[in-house]
C-alpha cells in the first residue's frame, strides 16, 4: 500500500501531524478487511469503539462531554487520512457518527441529552444515524413528511426515512420531523432512541458502492419520545439542518480530494511497472498528459476545499458558497479522475484484485449524497443572484 506524499499546507502544525499519524495507523489497520466487509455488507461494531478509544469520534466536540474541542483543520486531517481504510463504506459510517449526526447535539442539545447520547457516541459505545432523507424528499428537506405530534410531554412520531447510513444498528437517530406547517417552517429536530416501541428497520439497501455501510429504510408507527429529547426550538429544525449540511458537504469534499490523489499516485506506480509494446504505460504521452492534468485539477480542488475549511473554521455562517463549490467541483472531478485511473489498469481494473475498482464505484456517491451536484448548482445560482 502506497502513501500520498502531501505538501503540507501552512496551517498544519506538529499537533496536526501527530493526529495524522494516529488516524493513518488506525485506517491502515482496517484496510486488510476491506473486501471481506464489503462482501458482508457491514463491518464490525467494534470499529466504532476503536475509533472512540482514540478520540476520533469527537474531534470538535466539547471537552466537557468527552470531546477534544479542536477545530476544522483537525477534522480535515481525520477525513483525509481515513481514506487509508480503502473502504468508503467504513469511512462514511464513521463520518456520519463524528460529523453529521452528533455535532448538532453538541451545538443545541440540552446537557441531559448530551450526557445520554452524545457522550457514548464520542466513545463509540453508541452508534448514531442522521434521519433526514425520505422516499419523497432526499435533497429537498422542506418536503419532509414524517410527523411528530405533541401529546403532553411526548411527541408521537409516524412516518418513514430512507437512505439512512448506520440505520440497521443505530442506537439513536438525530431525526428531522414535521411538527408544523408544510415547507421549511414546520420542521423540528430531536434525538430518537431506536429501542422505542413502534420503530422498525425495513431492510438494508443493496448499493453498487460503499457496500460495507449499512443503509436502511426506517419506519415509525406511533413512536413516543419525550419532548426533552428535542434539539433547539420547535419548528426551527430546517435552519439547523442547513447548517449541519455544510459540515457534511465539507468532509465529503475533503475526503474526495485526498482519495483522488491516492488513486492517481497509485495509478502512476502501476503504470511505471506495467509495460505495453516494450515500455511502461507512463512513458506514453497520452498517459503522461492525463495524469498531470488530473494532478493539476486535484491541487485546484484541494486549494478550494482548504479555502472553504478556513472560512468555515472562522465563521460557520460565511462559507456556504465555498463549501458548495468545493463539493460540486471535487465530486464531478472525481468521476473523471477515477475513470481514467481505472482505465490505466486495463482488465485488472475491472476486477476486485485492485482497490481502484472499488474506488471507482464508491466515488459515484459523492455527486449524490449530502445534496446532488444539481442541487449544488441550484444553491450557487441563488447565492450568485442568477
The pLDDT-based confidence of 138 (bands split at 50, 70, 90) is low
pTM over 0.85: yes
Cell of 321: 458558497
Q: Residue 161 and residue 202: Cα distance in Å, rounded?
A: 10
Residues 193 and 83 in one domain: no
Domain containing residue 261: 238-383
Last residue of a domain, one of 234, 268, 294: 234
Residues 225 and 104 in one domain: no
- pLDDT tens for 88-110 read 999 999 999 999 999 999 999 99
Residues 243 and 344 in one domain: yes
Whether pLDDT at 207 is above 50: yes
Residues 378 and 258 in one domain: yes
Last residue of a domain, one of 218, 234, 250: 234
| H or E stretch at 159 | strand 154-165
Q: Residue 333 and residue 379: Cα distance in Å, rounded?
A: 19
* Residue with more model confidence, 243 or 223: 223
Residues 290 and 227 in one domain: no
Mean pLDDT over residues 255-265, rounded? 97
Mean pLDDT over residues 62-75, rounded? 97
Contact 128, 121 (CB under 8 A): yes
Residue 320 lies in a domain: yes
* pLDDT given for residue 1 in this prediction: 45
Give the mean pLDDT of the chain. Answer: 95
Share of the chain above pLDDT 90, in %: 91
Residues 223 and 252 in one domain: no
CATH at residue 86: 1.10.540.10
Contact 367, 376 (CB under 8 A): no
Residue 4 lies in a domain: no
Contact 330, 376 (CB under 8 A): no
Cell of 376: 449544488
Residues 229 and 274 in one domain: no
Which residues are known to be catalytic?
248
Mean pLDDT over residues 318-328, rounded? 97
Residues 250 and 227 in one domain: no
* pLDDT given for residue 2 in this prediction: 46
CATH at residue 140: 2.40.110.10
* pLDDT given for residue 26 in this prediction: 98
Residue 243 lies in a domain: yes
Amino acid at each position: 500500500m502506497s502513501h500520498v506524499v502531501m505538501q503540507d499546507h501552512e496551517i498544519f502544525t506538529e499537533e496536526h501531524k501527530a493526529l495524522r499519524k494516529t488516524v493513518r495507523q488506525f485506517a491502515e489497520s482496517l484496510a486488510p478487511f476491506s473486501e471481506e466487509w464489503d462482501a458482508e455488507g457491514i463491518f464490525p461494531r467494534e470499529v466504532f469503539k476503536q475509533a472512540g478509544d482514540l478520540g476520533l469520534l469527537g474531534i470538535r466536540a466539547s471537552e466537557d462531554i468527552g470531546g477534544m474541542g479542536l477545530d476544522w483543520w483537525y477534522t480535515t486531517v481525520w477525513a483525509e487520512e481515513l481514506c487509508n481504510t480503502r473502504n468508503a463504506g467504513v469511512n462514511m459510517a464513521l463520518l456520519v457518527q463524528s460529523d453529521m449526526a452528533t455535532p448538532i447535539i453538541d451545538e443545541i442539545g440540552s446537557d441531559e441529552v448530551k450526557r445520554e447520547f452524545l457522550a457514548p457516541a464520542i466513545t463509540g459505545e453508541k452508534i448514531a444515524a442522521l434521519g433526514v432523507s425520505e422516499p419523497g424528499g432526499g435533497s429537498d428537506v422542506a418536503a419532509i413528511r414524517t410527523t411528530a405530534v405533541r401529546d403532553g410531554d411526548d411527541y408521537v412520531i409516524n412516518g418513514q426515512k430512507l437512505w439512512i447510513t448506520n440505520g440497521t444498528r443505530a442506537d439513536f437517530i438525530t431525526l428531522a420531523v414535521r411538527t408544523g406547517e408544510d415547507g421549511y417552517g414546520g420542521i423540528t429536530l430531536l434525538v430518537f432512541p431506536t429501542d422505542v416501541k413502534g420503530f422498525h428497520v425495513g431492510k438494508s439497501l443493496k448499493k453498487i458502492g460503499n457496500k460495507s455501510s449499512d443503509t436502511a429504510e426506517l419506519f415509525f408507527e406511533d413512536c413516543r419520545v419525550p419532548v426533552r429529547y428535542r434539539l433547539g426550538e420547535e419548528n426551527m429544525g430546517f435552519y439547523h439542518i442547513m447548517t449541519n449540511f455544510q459540515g457534511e458537504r465539507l468532509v465529503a469534499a475533503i475526503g474526495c480530494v485526498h482519495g483522488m490523489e491516492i488513486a492517481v499516485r497509485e495509478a502512476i506506480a502501476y503504470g511505471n511497472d506495467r509495460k505495453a509494446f516494450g515500455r511502461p504505460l507512463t512513458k506514453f504521452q497520452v498517459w503522461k498528459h492525463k495524469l498531470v492534468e488530473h494532478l493539476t485539477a486535484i491541487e485546484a480542488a484541494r486549494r478550494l476545499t482548504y479555502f472553504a475549511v478556513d472560512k468555515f473554521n472562522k465563521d460557520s455562517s460565511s462559507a456556504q458558497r465555498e463549501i458548495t463549490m468545493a463539493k460540486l467541483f471535487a465530486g464531478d472531478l472525481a468521476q473523471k479522475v477515477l475513470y481514467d485511473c481505472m482505465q490505466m489498469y486495463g482488465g485488472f481494473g475491472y476486477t476486485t484484485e485492485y482497490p481502484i475498482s472499488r474506488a471507482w464505484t464508491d466515488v459515484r456517491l459523492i455527486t449524490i449524497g449530502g445534496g446532488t451536484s444539481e442541487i449544488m448548482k441550484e444553491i450557487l445560482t441563488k447565492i450568485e443572484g442568477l
